[in-house]
Amino acid sequence: MTSRIHKFEIVVVGAGPAGLAAACLAAENGQRVGVLDDTPWLGGQIWRGEQHKAAQPGAQQWIKRFRRSGATLLDQTSVIASLRPGELMAEHPSGARKIYFQKLILATGARELLLPFPGWTLPGVMAAGGLQSLAKHGWPVAGKKVVVVGTGPLLLAVADGLKKYGAQVVSTAEQAPLSRVAGFGLKLLAHPGKILQGIGIKSRLMGVPQRFGVWPVRAEGDDQVRSITLTDGRKTWTEECDLLACSFNLVPNVELPLTLNCELRDGFVRVDEWQAASAENIFCAGEPTGIGGADCALVEGQIAGLAAVGRKEQAKPLFAARSKWHQFRAAMLAAFALRPELRRLAADDTIFCRCEDVTFGRVKQFSTWRDMKLQTRCGMGACQGRTCGAAAQVVLGRAMESVRPPVLPARISSLMAISSD
Amino acid sequence: MEARNMADSVQLRVNGRLIAVPAGTVLAAAIAVAGVKQFRRSVSGQPRTPVCGMGVCMECCVTINGQSRQRSCQTLCEPGMEVQTDD
Amino acid sequence: MNKSFDIIIVGAGIVGAACAAACARGGLKVLVVERGHIGGGVTAAGMGHIVVMDDSEAQFSLTHYSRTLWQELRPQLPDDVEFDPCGTLWVAADDEEMTEVRRKEKFYSERGVRVEVLDSKGVAKAEPNLRSGLAGGLRVLDDAVVYPPCAARFLIEQAQQHGAEFRGGVEVQSLLAEGGVQLRDGSRISAGHSVNAAGACSPALSPGLPVRKRKGHLVITDRHPGYVHHQIIELGYLKSAHSISKDSVAFNIQPRKTGQVLIGSSRQFDAEDAGVEQQILERMLHRAAEYLPSIGNLSATRVWTGHRPTTPDKLPLIGPSSGSDRIWLATGHEGLGITTSTGTGQMLADLLLGKTTAIPAAPYAPARLANGGAQHG
């Protein structure tokens, strides 16, 4: 019988690289640490599957270290709300949880930005990283024709990963022009780990056309996607596929930080040099503070873990590494900036909000996110605006103004379950 | 999937049909392997299948052991699971 | 550019929108100003129940009249207003509450409202998810549900079709005793009259107005079509809703046309903060679970709060303020603003145009209350 009420000195939300690093450092310094994660596995989305099948030495090292650290993992435990200071309401498949903390470290990660274009709701059109994660856990890709479109280093990593699972990768289409990506490649020289990763990928992707300055126009199909029409701005052509993997950069998961009154700056959680957020006793590390990748998240997580337990002196030596990753982060942002054409992909009859089936033609009539939501139901469905809200920000420049509890859809019983007094 | 688990298989029921998958298979994958073409029927009747693969988009939601709206991409297959999609 | 208007309505909630529609239909030159969005304030926070009430003759009269006006509008309502003639089911937990069912039946029947008394079995048949063993209930057949933000937008559009003008994102600083308004940016818009339809914010424009904020919580679920079929309210609601001193919760649940279920309700005075309060939320949901034992399995997508604009005698303020006959009020509708918006708008328009109102206007006249007029100038 699992306990329904947990008390920790430090609670970490998210068991990806940032969360694991934070938890290790805090627990190794003698604090009672609890780590909550949505999923049944360790490592977050980026290290998904590492727990069972080692692929990345860095991941293995941290997962082992975490297991020795003394921190407690509460897996499949989704935070749904925090309505009182020092207290989280959470949901586990077996019921409600209440978790008390003195200090909270938010390592909620990021999700892929999905941009609406005609046909993007067809079965088989998937987020690139999502498809790769599912493939690691048995999603059938062997023998399937896959086109990978979008932007960023993730495209090649996904193409490589899918090939490993037996997919036939037809081509990759990077929306950024080669000139910009090549510039980014030079900057990689300062980051040896990334280079090795790059070389490994390249050898496996021999023979797969890698196009630059190319982006999707529309997907077509019947009961599932059959083809994708691509363009380089001058000509358009169509490629057949059974799966279309899309990735247009990452968006930070800031819903929980927002409900905890953490201030944002340019869409990311604002933190100081100790990774402390604006709200008292709350720290934040990894992607919610800026999309920097797993290595950046590891450094930030360690700093957050040390700062949360008052070992600031020990954290200081990590600042140099963090600055290096922040330079990498900035270079990546510039290299893979989205071209303006991607904001104009949706047609008036393209579904914009997938949960409520609201078309782009409907939502574009309203000038703010709230008005859009109230008048068209865009963002009112089960994903709570995570997909269409991020798209509205990019396509229409309309930012979500607030987040309401629960942070994730939750059973009514989880909202009424445990009265602590 | 861990090597020692490869031999272990998990039996579960998807839309009434008994299937067996290797231990460690995520439920969304098991449903796809079972040949289900539609996880969720959208508000306007379109077929939908998993998109984000990380528990965000809710397109993979199915009924698990009678509890509706569960994210199949964040759930591992367990023996005896009863799964119902909108098919 | 300074056009002159017959009337400037401040607030594009459901009440301001209905006033605009009625005034414009009556031939007045109308401007509606709203600091946020159409139907974006307490209108968006409310349930959207169109219900005939019997707390007092005046309340009955206004709710009944308003419901009739909603039914007249029904053929014109676009789909997104989600008009659903689901009716109201008042449930009685015990014999004492059954006595109340019979009193209500008599009251409504005598006044031409279609109702049906249900016994224990009848309630179970009407709403199979309700717990067994309830004493019975009263079904009010012609009550309905709408989606308020789109209903407000529809009314504003109707006003626009009759020549009214709408300006969003405009914040009013004060109402001018000589007519018209002064904006936050210092500019003025002149008009014959202004109408304070700012709901819970109306005292800011009419200082001293006896309108207090009464906080409520609501929970909405994912789509669970057919879980409930009527707006269901416990008769104990009356006891708790009447208590104006302390925090209270009551079972009040609504099926949305989308299949979603809206779960209420709570009432709190002196709770200015808009945050969701865990204790109230838990109490409210526990109360709902007493009536619907399986409700815990539904998936909740959002919880929010809103502030009802409440008056001391629970009747809205409709008509000229006592301070200035150029400044009118259409506020203080508490939890019944969606229902009573249509009646309020028509009454206000009739009064402004010097016409006879369909129901007596005196019970809602601001002058009935000591500070009903508030101080303007």
Position B2 confidence tier, pLDDT thresholds 50, 70, 90: very low
Q: Nearest-CA distance from A244 to chain B in Å?
A: 10
Query: ipTM for the complex?
Result: 0.92
Note the pLDDT of residue A204.
Answer: 67
Q: Which residue has the tokens 């009064």?
A: C351
The residues that bridge with C102 in the sheet, in sequence order, are none
pLDDT of B5 over the 80 cut: no
Note the pLDDT of residue A383.
Answer: 95
Distance, in Å, from the CA atom of C117 to the CA atom of A180, rounded to the nearest integer, reads: 74
Residues with Cβ within 8 Å of residue A59, at least 6 apart in sequence: A17, A43, A47, A50
CB C151 within 8 A of CB C77: yes
pLDDT of C321 over the 70 cut: yes
pLDDT of A287 over the 50 cut: yes
Distance, in Å, from the CA atom of A269 to the CA atom of A278, rounded to the nearest integer, reads: 9
Residue C69 parent element (H or E): helix C57-73
A54-58, A403-407, C349-353: which is most confident: C349-353
Cβ-defined contact of A121 to B46 (cutoff 8 Å)? yes
Note the pLDDT of residue A57.
Answer: 77
Question: Which ranges in A316-400 belong to alpha helices (H)?
Answer: 319-335, 360-363, 369-376, 386-396
CA distances from C193 to A262, C29, C31, C180, C377 (A): 44, 11, 11, 6, 14
Note the pLDDT of residue A188.
Answer: 61
The first and second tokens of residue C32, run together, are 């509606």
pLDDT of B1 over the 60 cut: no
Position C51 confidence tier, pLDDT thresholds 50, 70, 90: very high
What is the model's pTM?
0.94
For range A172-199, the mean pLDDT:
70
Cβ-defined contact of A413 to C296 (cutoff 8 Å)? yes
Position A419 confidence tier, pLDDT thresholds 50, 70, 90: low
For an interface test with C, the pick among B68, B70, B86 (most C C-beta atoms closer than 10 Å) comes out as B68
For range A186-193, the mean pLDDT:
55
pLDDT of C214 over the 90 cut: yes
For range C178-182, the mean pLDDT:
94
For range A69-90, the mean pLDDT:
96
For range A330-342, the mean pLDDT:
93
Question: Which ranges in A29-153 belong to alpha helices (H)?
Answer: 57-69, 128-136
Contacts of C256 in chain B (CB under 8 A): none
For range C273-297, the mean pLDDT:
95
Beta strand A10-13 pairing with A5-7: unpaired
The per-residue pLDDT for range A133-152, each reduced to its tens digit, is 999 999 999 999 999 999 99
Contacts of C297 in chain B (CB under 8 A): 67-68
Distance, in Å, from the CA atom of C70 to the CA atom of A23, rounded to the nearest integer, reads: 58
Cβ-defined contact of C37 to A406 (cutoff 8 Å)? no
Note the pLDDT of residue A194.
Answer: 58
Mean confidence (pLDDT) of chain A: 92
Residue of chain C whose alpha carbon sits nearest to that of A418: C282
Q: Which residue has the tokens 């031939």?
A: C27
Cβ-defined contact of A123 to B30 (cutoff 8 Å)? no
A touches which chains (3+ CB pairs under 8 A)? B, C
Pick from B26, B47, B54: which is nearest to A45 by CB? B54
CB A147 within 8 A of CB A244: yes
Distance, in Å, from the CA atom of A382 to the CA atom of A380, rounded to the nearest integer, reads: 7
CA angle in degrees (0–180, nearest 5) for C207-C211-C212: 115
What DSSP string runs through A197-208?
HHHHHHHHTTTS
CB A131 within 8 A of CB A245: yes
Note the pLDDT of residue C246.
Answer: 76
Q: Nearest-CA distance from B13 to chain C in Å?
A: 21
pLDDT of C252 over the 50 cut: yes
The per-residue pLDDT for range A202-254, each reduced to its tens digit, is 656 777 888 999 999 999 999 999 999 999 999 999 999 999 999 999 999 99
The per-residue pLDDT for range C216-239, each reduced to its tens digit, is 999 999 999 999 999 999 998 666
Position A79 confidence tier, pLDDT thresholds 50, 70, 90: very high
Chain A CB within 8 Å of residue C17 CB: no
Residue of chain B whose alpha carbon sits nearest to that of A127: B52
Chain A CB within 8 Å of residue C38 CB: yes
Contacts of A382 in chain C (CB under 8 A): 222, 299, 301
The per-residue pLDDT for range C326-353, each reduced to its tens digit, is 999 999 999 999 999 999 999 999 999 9
For an interface test with A, the pick among B54, B75, B76 (most A C-beta atoms closer than 10 Å) comes out as B54
Note the pLDDT of residue B7.
Answer: 57
Distance, in Å, from the CA atom of A93 to the CA atom of A78, rounded to the nearest integer, reads: 9
Mean confidence (pLDDT) of chain C: 94
pLDDT of B6 over the 60 cut: no
B touches which chains (3+ CB pairs under 8 A)? A, C
CB C171 within 8 A of CB C35: yes
CB C369 within 8 A of CB C310: no
The per-residue pLDDT for range A32-52, each reduced to its tens digit, is 999 999 999 999 988 887 776
For range C70-74, the mean pLDDT:
98
pLDDT of C65 over the 50 cut: yes
Note the pLDDT of residue A3.
Answer: 67
CB B72 within 8 A of CB B50: yes
Q: Which residues 191-230 of C have a C-beta within 8 angstroms of A?
A: 219, 221-222
Residue of chain B whose alpha carbon sits nearest to that of C258: B43
For range C39-67, the mean pLDDT:
97
Q: Nearest-CA distance from C227 to chain B in Å?
A: 13
Residues with Cβ within 8 Å of residue A102, at least 6 apart in sequence: A8, A9, A10, A86, A281
Provide the b/e sequence for C260-293 (b: ≥16 CB within 10 Å): bbbbbbbbbeebeeeebbbebbbbbbbbbbebbe
Cβ-defined contact of A138 to B46 (cutoff 8 Å)? no
Note the pLDDT of residue C372.
Answer: 66
Note the pLDDT of residue C237.
Answer: 67
For an interface test with B, the pick among A63, A94, A134 (most B C-beta atoms closer than 10 Å) comes out as A134
The first and second tokens of residue A300, run together, are 């930030």
CA angle in degrees (0–180, nearest 5) for C179-C185-C190: 20
Note the pLDDT of residue C302.
Answer: 96
Residue of chain A whose alpha carbon sits nearest to that of C295: A412
What angle in degrees, to the nearest 10, is found between the helix axes of A386-396 and A369-376?
A: 130
Q: At residue C202, what is the residue type? A: S
Q: Which residue has the tokens 């990283």?
A: A129
C touches which chains (3+ CB pairs under 8 A)? A, B
Distance, in Å, from the CA atom of C377 to the CA atom of C370, rounded to the nearest integer, reads: 18
pLDDT of C2 over the 50 cut: no
Picking from C76, C39, C236, C263, the residue whose alpha carbon sits closest to that of residue C152 is: C39
B87 CB burial (10 A radius; 0-12, 13-18, 19+)? middle
Note the pLDDT of residue C240.
Answer: 59
Contacts of B57 in chain A (CB under 8 A): 114, 127, 354, 383, 386-387
Contacts of B29 in chain A (CB under 8 A): 134, 137-140
| Percent of chain A whose predicted confidence (pLDDT) is above 70 | 93
The per-residue pLDDT for range A93-124, each reduced to its tens digit, is 999 999 999 999 999 999 999 999 999 999 99
pLDDT of C110 over the 50 cut: yes
pLDDT of C310 over the 70 cut: yes
Q: Chains B, C: CB contacts under 8 A, how many?
A: 9
Pick from C40, C281, C303: which is nearest to A374 by CB? C40
Chain A CB within 8 Å of residue C295 CB: yes
Note the pLDDT of residue B4.
Answer: 43
Pick from C149, C301, C304: which is nearest to A409 by CB? C301
Note the pLDDT of residue A206.
Answer: 75
Beta strand C188-189 pairing with C181-183: antiparallel
